[in-house]
């Protein structure tokens, strides 16, 4: 998933960036409200993390502006105070969930996953399409009830494709919404990764869960099982 | 206009001045009229006397049969003139005071005709009365004579002047005296206000800590409210100080633990978990103490917050946060159910209690808000009930809630929200009770607040 992170405390910001990338997320990090607004307008995000105590443009203003301009990606607010007045203000301005600092990274990741799931229209914790079942809470995959071990990137790629099932997703879109350190070296490496993913989830080539559409991209059909 | 004293002074001065001016003018006018009426009556009487004393001759002249009982007609400086005109308009008789010349303008009257006039004859202002009369002649044909009486207006004028001097002099004197008296009364009347201002200054200087003294009813609304405010603000600062003391103490403990363990630590892995735990503990304490200290508890001069509105806000927020649980919220609030205090405090209380309900409930949460009339108090009390269909309340949490005062520092996450709400509710003289509902088996939290004057 592509995450917009708006946090002014530099150590916390770089820590979160690193952790999120380690989970296969593509991250755009802003250090103040104005930069956050600029990023929010420029790129397509799956979810945003906004700290409420921001310089230049306060978090709540940023959220309100983004919402009024039609940006619908879910927003999670980080608040230092536990006060309900702040939480309610943030949620009223357009946020979807909150986390009180300090927090455990796992908690943050779980909430982000839940928000992205909800936004894609999935209210359950598990995505099941055909014989492939994704547990979004535990971040695990089962093929025909057999658990499959994937890297963080591979899991996120599969999740992205499944959340947007039946939609053609270009290579560019995939590279924009996901992250792996190898991307910096070679942007065509996505083909290699998708190949690797296919081999892991469909070693015998029976299910054909990921279609390649020449020149256009990849698609996870709602009815996989060979064409 | 910014001065009460000035306002009253100007108004009173204006009113008194206008009142006395009007009175003066009315007295003046009345006196003048009475003088004129007297003059008219006099002239008429004198004319009658002339008629009685006169007797016409056959040649048209007039003869005075006897002495005119009005000596003024005879003396030259009397200012009173008489004249009689014959039927043909010629002067038949002139009073000796006229000095041989006609003083009164010549107008021939018809029988029974009267004429009043004021005119100036030879620089003498006169008021004249002409009357047409006739006597019975042996020949039988009536002849009309004009009887005229005139008075020098200067006498009347001088009398009026004298009166005026007296009148206005007296009025001015009385007005002045009255203004002085009213200034004194104002000073005396505004004395309680001056006293209140002095007392306020004493409070500012730290000599006193409340407005003592017996203030008049009109000032009572201000002074009572002020005293209430002072008391609450003082309690608030005391609470802040205590909370900061408590906070410092409760932060030092986990920090001390960390320090000790760090010096002791043999394995990094253990240290990680320990540090994590202590951080959580520190964070919770900071939240708890600061949120407690921030509770205002002020009812003085606070408006009434509509509970329905705030409840809706909190429910909307929680619906987002717990979207996956798809909780059914029911809100049943009296439209006049109001909280007399800080809106943020109500948000905090409802937020905590409802959040707790969301965590524990299965599917349903019901919120009820009732306005409870408090006899003898102007503004009604309030009762809010929050019921969920969860497993009910834990006995340990219930015990913790029942503990009063600062000793109830919840160390673990459970119940911290409810304890916070209880503390804020207590600030307002209210009560928070948590119980297990007999019908649903879930938790029922009741918040009750007293009414206010």
Tens digits of residue pLDDT in B233-269:
888 888 888 888 878 877 887 888 777 777 776 666 6
Q: Three-class SS of residue A149?
A: coil
Chain A contact for B294 (CB, 8 A cutoff):
yes
C-alpha to C-alpha distance for A52 and B260, rounded to whole angstroms: 35
Tell me, what's the pLDDT at A227?
A: 42
Given a cut of 90, whether residue A132 has pLDDT beyond it is no
Counting one residue from A and one from B, how many pairs have CB atoms under 8 Å apart?
53
Minimum CA–CA partner of B319 in chain A: A96
Query: Taking residues A153-166, what's their average pLDDT?
Result: 88
Nearest to B351 among A81, A87, A125 (CB): A87
Question: Between B314, B321, B326, which is nearest A98 by CB?
Answer: B321
Interface membership of B323 toward A (CB under 8 Å): yes
Q: Look at residue B252 in the predicted model and tell me its pLDDT.
A: 82
Chain A nearest-CA residue for B353? A84
Which residue has 């927020």 as its token pair?
B317
pLDDT band at B140 (very low <50, low <70, confident <90, very high): low
In Å, how far is A226's CA from the nearest CA of chain B? 33
Mean pLDDT for B389-405 is 75
The per-residue pLDDT for range B166-204, each reduced to its tens digit, is: 999 999 999 899 989 998 998 898 888 888 888 888 888
- Residue among A83, A92, A104 whose CB faces B291 most closely: A83
The pLDDT, as a whole number, for residue B230 is 85
Euclidean distance between CA atoms A47 and A44, whole angstroms: 9
For B14, residues 6+ apart whose C-beta sits below 8 A from its C-beta are none
> Percentage of chain B with pLDDT > 70?
92
Q: Which ipTM value was assigned to this complex?
A: 0.80
Neighbouring C-beta atoms of residue B336, cutoff 10 Å: 14
Range of weakest confidence among B108-117, B121-130, B394-403: B394-403
| pLDDT confidence tier of residue B23, bands split at 50, 70 and 90 | very high
Query: Are A88 and B351 within 8 A, CB to CB?
Result: yes
Task: Give the model confidence (pLDDT) of A33-71 as tens digits.
Answer: 999 999 999 999 999 999 998 889 999 999 999 999 999
Sequence-distant (≥ 6) Cβ neighbours of residue A91 within 8 angstroms: A77, A98, B316, B317, B320, B321
Per-range mean pLDDT, top range of A32-36, B55-59, B126-130, B378-382: A32-36
Banded pLDDT at B283 (limits 50, 70, 90): confident
Predicted TM-score (pTM) of the model is 0.67
CB neighbourhood size of B329 (10 A) = 20
Closest CA relative to residue B286, chosen from A222, A83, A106, A214: A83
A82 secondary structure, DSSP code: -
Across all residues in chain B, what is the average pLDDT? 84
Q: List the single residue in B283, B321, B348 with the smallest CB-CB distance to A102.
A: B283
Chain A residue at shortest CA distance from B276: A104
Find residues 117-176 of chain A whose CB sits inside 8 Å of chain B.
118, 123, 125
Task: List the one residue out of B430, B279, B328, B296 whose CA is nearest residue A85.
Answer: B296
Question: Each residue of B297-318: pLDDT tens digit?
Answer: 777 777 889 999 999 999 999 9
Cis geometry, peptide bond prior to residue B240 (ω within 30 degrees of 0): no
């Amino acid at each position: 998933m592509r995450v917009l992170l708006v946090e002014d405390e530099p150590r916390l910001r770089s820590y979160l960036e690193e952790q999120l990338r380690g989970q296969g997320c593509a991250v755009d990090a802003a250090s103040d409200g104005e930069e956050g607004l600029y990023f929010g307008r420029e790129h397509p995000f799956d979810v945003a993390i906004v700290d409420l105590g921001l310089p230049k443009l306060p978090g709540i203003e940023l959220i309100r502006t983004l919402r009024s301009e039609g940006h619908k990606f879910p927003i999670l607010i980080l608040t230092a105070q536990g006060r309900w007045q702040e939480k309610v203000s943030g949620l009223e301005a357009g946020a979807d969930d909150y986390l009180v600092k300090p927090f455990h990274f796992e908690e943050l990741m779980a909430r982000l996953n839940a928000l992205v799931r909800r936004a894609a229209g999935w209210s359950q914790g598990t995505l099941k399409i055909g014989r492939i079942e994704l547990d979004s809470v535990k971040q695990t995959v089962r093929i025909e009830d057999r658990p499959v071990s994937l890297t963080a990137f591979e899991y996120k790629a599969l999740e992205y494709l499944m959340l947007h099932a039946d939609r053609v997703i270009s290579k560019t879109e995939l590279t924009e919404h996901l992250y792996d350190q190898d991307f910096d070296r070679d942007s065509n490496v996505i083909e290699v990764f998708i190949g690797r993913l296919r081999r892991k989830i469909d070693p015998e080539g029976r299910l054909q869960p990921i279609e390649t559409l020449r020149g256009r991209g990849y698609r996870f059909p709602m009815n996989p099982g060979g064409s | 206009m910014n001065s009460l004293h000035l306002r009253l002074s100007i108004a009173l001065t204006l009113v008194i001045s206008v009142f006395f001016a009007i009175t003066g003018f009315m007295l003046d006018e009345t006196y003048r009229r009475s003088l004129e009426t007297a003059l008219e009556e006099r002239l008429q009487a004198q004319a009658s006397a002339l008629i009685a004393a006169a007797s016409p001759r056959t040649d048209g002249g007039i003869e005075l049969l006897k002495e005119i009982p009005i000596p003024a007609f005879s003396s030259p400086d009397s200012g009173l003139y008489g004249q009689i005109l014959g039927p043909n308009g010629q002067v038949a008789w002139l009073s000796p005071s006229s000095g041989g010349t006609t003083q009164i303008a010549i107008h021939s009257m018809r029988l029974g005709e009267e004429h009043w006039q004021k005119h100036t004859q030879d620089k003498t202002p006169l008021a004249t009365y002409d009357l047409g009369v006739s006597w019975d002649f042996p020949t039988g044909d009536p002849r009309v004579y004009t009887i005229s009486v005139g008075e020098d207006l200067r006498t009347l004028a001088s009398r009026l002047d004298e009166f005026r001097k007296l009148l206005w002099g007296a009025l001015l004197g009385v007005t002045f005296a009255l203004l002085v008296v009213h200034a004194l009364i104002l000073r005396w009347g505004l004395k309680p206000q001056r006293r209140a201002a002095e007392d306020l200054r004493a409070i500012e200087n730290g000599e006193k800590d409340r407005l003592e003294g017996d203030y008049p009813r009109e000032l009572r609304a201000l002074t009572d409210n002020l005293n209430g405010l002072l008391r609450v603000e003082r309690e608030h600062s005391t609470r802040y100080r205590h909370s900061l003391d408590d906070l410092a103490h409760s932060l030092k403990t986990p920090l001390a633990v960390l320090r000790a363990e760090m010096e002791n630590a043999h394995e990094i892995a253990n240290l990680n978990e320990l540090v994590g735990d202590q951080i959580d503990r520190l964070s919770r304490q900071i939240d708890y103490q600061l949120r407690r200290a921030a509770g205002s508890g002020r009812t003085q001069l606070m408006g009434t917050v509509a509970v329905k509105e705030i409840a809706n806000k909190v429910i909307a927020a929680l619906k987002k946060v717990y979207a996956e649980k798809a909780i059914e919220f029911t809100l049943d609030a009296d439209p006049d159910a109001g909280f007399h205090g800080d809106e943020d405090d109500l948000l905090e209380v409802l937020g905590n209690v409802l959040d707790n309900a969301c965590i524990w409930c299965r599917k349903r949460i019901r919120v009820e808000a009732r306005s409870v009339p408090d006899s003898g108090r102007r503004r009604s009390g309030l009762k809010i009930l929050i019921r969920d269909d969860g497993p009910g309340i834990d006995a340990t949490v219930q015990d913790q809630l029942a503990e009063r005062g600062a000793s109830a520092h919840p160390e673990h996450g459970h119940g911290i929200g409810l304890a916070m709400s209880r503390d804020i509710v207590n600030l307002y003289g209210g009560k928070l009770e948590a119980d297990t509902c007999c019908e649903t088996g879930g938790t029922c939290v009741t918040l009750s607040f007293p009414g206010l004057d």
